Structure 1
């Protein structure tokens, strides 16, 4: 069993939880993830590490209560324990030797991008961090990011923080201003990462994207996280989660990302009694519309 030491709401949708897992805390690195189960009959879900404290033996996860399991997880309190907490899984982000970087987080992806930004900053890299949220009330980790970045830019879809726009607009502005990045790292909605890669491609800036939104079982067995990178199909959970953003077939990933919505809705309805949203059911038209690259959140 893995005791929950702390749990707090970062906003109305997002929870930060500190779990005691000494062996994982000693080994886990930025970009890697864990698999957890609440109880012995529970669903296994992957969550990427937000922070760790090897001395205290704790691993921090940040998650949004959207599915049946994460809704249950968000209700758990310090003193309770998780049945399984397995890791580290996946490959660490390749950050060695980077001298000037831009780390981009979209929504909850900000929590996953934070440990990369912190590692880079701690190893002498000049780090800009750009984050994007639907509205200012959903912004997270601004103080933590301020402590490990040379510059922090927070964008909102509705302009409620006085800075309306997309993360790609902020990135383009920094490039136009002469920011000489040797790495751009993007974590967030697949469509956002698609347009980040499109922004950096003309400049030849090395761009890594985290394909963790596709992961399901975390072992490569289910095949649900297959992602086309260049001329081959890889698995986000065992070959990634990070890949060269200029080689990823984002349209294929977007189609895959909506394949399981009806199953998610059924599981949520069974757990909460909420009605199934028939409008979210995946059909060919919905998948093609998503793959066409709707810019929401980019």
Structure 2
């Protein structure tokens, strides 16, 4: 079992958890992920690694409540334990000196892109990070990103922080002001698609992380099967990063909705168990 050392709340449904996992913290690389089970009855869920502290033997995970498993995990507190963590899994990001790299992170994708931009910066690249969210409170881990970036641009849909606009506006602003050698985007699929299309417009190599459709994390379930460059790939074992120009985005969006009905029913069952409907005459506490 793995102990939760620290828990912070970033926004209404987004939490940051620091969990003991010394072997994984020692061996993981930027871009890899882990599989976590909250308890012995829980499903196996993949989570990207935001930070790994080899000295403390801990992993930092940013989790958004979107279904049963993530809700159960976010309901745990410091000192509680999760059943088990397996990893590191997936292929590490390609890290070398490219030149100027734009790293675009949207929502909790900012946490996933943090270790990659850190590694790219350590490799001698000029790193320009573009962080995006619907509103100010959805811009997470800004201080961590600033420490490892040469420049940071913040975009919010409502203009409550940084500049008003979507992530592609910030990325294009950089492209038009200086030479860019590579673009990496991690966030909601629609954000990654349009960032990739923008990069293609300017003939800039671009990569995206498709971790949002992973389920089993080992290639056994086939839920993350996707057409990349005309060939069938599994995101969890062949990725999670791919050349954005080669991704079949229409297929990606279809995959996103595969388990929505199942997740909704499981969440309803959980809520009925945890928050049962009061019977007539019963006090509600």
Same fold per TM (> 0.5)? yes
Q: Deviations over 1:2-55 (max 9, x none)?
A: 111111112222111111111101111111000000111111100000000111
- Tell me the residue number matched to 1:262: 261
Instruction: Return the offset for 1:97.
Output: 2.5
Query: 1: distance between equivalents of 2:249 and 2:181?
Result: 22
- Tell me the residue number matched to 2:101: 101
Q: How many residues align?
A: 273
Q: 1:67-106 maps to which residues of 2 (within 5 A)?
A: 67-106=67-106
* Range with bigger deviation, 212-221 or 93-102: 93-102
Instruction: Return the offset for 1:220.
Output: 0.4
Q: Deviations over 1:100-140 (max 9, x none)?
A: 10101111101101111111112221100001111112211
- Tell me the residue number matched to 1:19: 19
For the 8 Å contact 1:7–1:15, the answer to whether it is kept is yes
Are residue 8 (structure 1) and residue 40 (structure 2) matched?
no
Q: Rg bigger for which structure?
A: 2
**Aligned-pair Cα RMSD in Å:** 1.2
For the 8 Å contact 1:214–1:257, the answer to whether it is kept is yes
Q: Deviations over 1:253-283 (max 9, x none)?
A: 0111112211111111111139xxxxxxxxx
Q: 1:151-170 maps to which residues of 2 (within 5 A)?
A: 151-170=151-170
For the 8 Å contact 1:36–1:84, the answer to whether it is kept is yes
For the 8 Å contact 2:189–2:210, the answer to whether it is kept is yes
- Tell me the residue number matched to 2:224: 225
Query: 2: distance between equivalents of 1:108 and 1:135?
Result: 13
For the 8 Å contact 2:156–2:165, the answer to whether it is kept is yes
For the 8 Å contact 1:33–1:88, the answer to whether it is kept is yes
- Tell me the residue number matched to 2:117: 117
Q: Deviations over 1:153-183 (max 9, x none)?
A: 11111111151101111111111112x2221
Over 3 Å off, 4+ runs = none
Unaligned stretches of 5+ in structure 1?
275-298
Instruction: Return the offset for 1:56.
Output: 1.3
Are residue 193 (structure 1) and residue 192 (structure 2) matched?
yes
Q: 1:236-247 maps to which residues of 2 (within 5 A)?
A: 236-247=235-246
- Tell me the residue number matched to 2:276: none
TM-score between the two structures when normalised by the length of structure 2: 0.93
